[in-house]
Chains A and B, each alone.
Chain A
């Protein structure tokens, strides 16, 4: 079993781990980086729950091998909120009751983030088309569409900015000088931390 050393950035922080070449990026993010906000529904690219941003673009993390993301800049749902403050897209989902069980929500949020960056003034039809690659089994899609429209509206009125890919990279470099810690990714360590907290 050949293990590969993998180094990548997630939400402005560097992660390093060792994984088999067959390990999907989604599993690496969840198991090795302990970021379990990214969900796996179908594991063959249909449901969209595992959508993350890779170098600024929305991609299915179940259809990439972790080894392919060596050196990549990733953003996952954990990178949306600013401390206690929800990201405006999250806030809009909350206010519009756009989630019930929440399983699909991380994928919808990341899809919406990339979509509104590219199209800040979407029509209803464009929103529906943008969300077509994400499945939700509880709420129906009406409130999700409403939430995305509300998030776009909030973007206009409050002027929040969806970070551009380039800006994401700048942020990372800025973060680099502030925080040079490198997290050694691994489930064992996470478990240990959790135990310590308890």
Chain B
């Protein structure tokens, strides 16, 4: 349970980090919080020969409020979880953060790192997908934004190039008065959930104006439940409508089974959690109004 040897760099600027990534290519791994990378290295499931530790880069741990909540690559999950700005503008993110690992993990783990690691069972990937957020990356040729829908490619794989560094994650704040809910089922508190669902609902004149649903644990990437979203928009909220949305989710998923849960079980839980999340989101819409 000891990592293989590696060369270690602790750049002091984003430019320096990108330069190192360009120099070492796929041999290099970026180390931020290390709460996913280091276990993989300890178990020798990952053996990068170069580690680019970005923790010494100043000024990357920010949370900037605005229509887009901008979170710097070194903002710890625990910092974001406790941030009043995150709670006020993006409570779905706050609620999901509370279920990421344990306090000790969140004290080190970063929001950006969780997104870049792209584990489809991780809460934050689905939050970004549900809200239609994006990431900012810096490469040798400059910066670019990548939408969540283009970012997550498959298990632990993103469209980030090997010479690019994720510098910021952008979560669009839901419209004022919107309701939200994060629901998940895990065997033990703090474990990766078997299935998780993030939902946001906004109403106008008694009908659903906006619905956003994304799930973890049911595919190789976080899964946006677009069939269910389309079905909801323009309708008046009701128990029957939530059931229909759950059924749409059920019909759209083809998860893999594993030692923890069969495909049938995951699909069933996804549908049930979708109903529950929509119900809770509606309660919050009504509390807000």
Indicate if B226 sits at the interface (CB-CB under 8 A): no
Q: Which residues of A contact B107 (CB under 8 A)?
A: 57-59
Q: How many residues of A contact B (CB 8 A)?
A: 31
- CB distance A60 to B104 under 8 Å? yes
Report yes or no: A21 in contact with B51, Cβ–Cβ below 8 A.
yes
List of B residues within 8 angstroms of A2 by Cβ: 7-8
One of B31-39, B67-75, B227-235, B265-273 contacting the partner = B31-39
Q: Tell me which of B2, B6, B104 contacts A59 (CB under 8 A).
A: B104
Assembly CA distance A2 to B35 (angstroms) = 24
| Beta-carbon nearest neighbor of A111 in chain B | B104
B3 touches A133 (CB 8 A): no
CB distance from A13 to the nearest CB of B (A): 23
Q: Is A20 an interface residue (CB 8 A)?
A: yes
**Do A1 and B5 touch (CB < 8 A)?**
yes
- Using a Cβ cutoff of 8 Å, how many contacts connect chains A and B? 89
Complex interface: chain A residues within 8 A of B43 (CB)? 44
Question: Contact between B7 and A21 (Cβ–Cβ < 8 Å)?
Answer: yes
Q: With the chains together, A57 CA to B103 CA distance in Å?
A: 9
- Interface residues in B, total, Cβ within 8 A: 31
Within 8 A of B (CB), among A1-27: 1-2, 4, 20-22, 24, 27
* Set of chain A residues within 8 Å of B1, measured between Cβ atoms: 42-44
Among A64-72, A73-81, A154-162, A168-176, the stretch in contact with B: A64-72
A120 at the interface (CB under 8 A from B): no
B34 touches A64 (CB 8 A): yes
> Which listed residue (B39, B78, B101, B104) contacts A44, Cβ 8 A?
B39
Give A114 to B103 CA distance when docked, in angstroms.
Answer: 10
- Please state if A133 and B2 are interface contacts (CB–CB under 8 Å): no
Most buried by A among B7, B34, B102: B102
Q: Given the complex of chains A and B, what is the CA–CA distance between A169 and B10 in angstroms?
A: 24
Q: A21-B51, A63-B35 are in contact. Are A44 and B105 (CB under 8 A)?
A: no
Closest residue to B8 on the A side, CB-wise? A21
The reply on B108 being an interface residue by CB < 8 A is yes
Task: Say yes or no for A115: interface residue by CB 8 A criterion.
Answer: yes
Which residues of A are found within 8 Å of B55, using beta-carbon distances? 68
- Complex Cα distance, B31 from A107, in Å, reads 24
Nearest CB of A to B55, in Å: 6
Identify 6 residue pairs between A and B in the complex whose beta-carbon atoms are under 8 Å apart, listed by A's number. Answer: A44-B39, A45-B101, A57-B78, A65-B8, A68-B31, A130-B103
Which A residues have a C-beta under 8 Å from some C-beta of B? 1-2, 4, 20-22, 24, 27, 42-45, 48, 51, 57-60, 62-65, 67-68, 111, 114-115, 129-130, 132-133
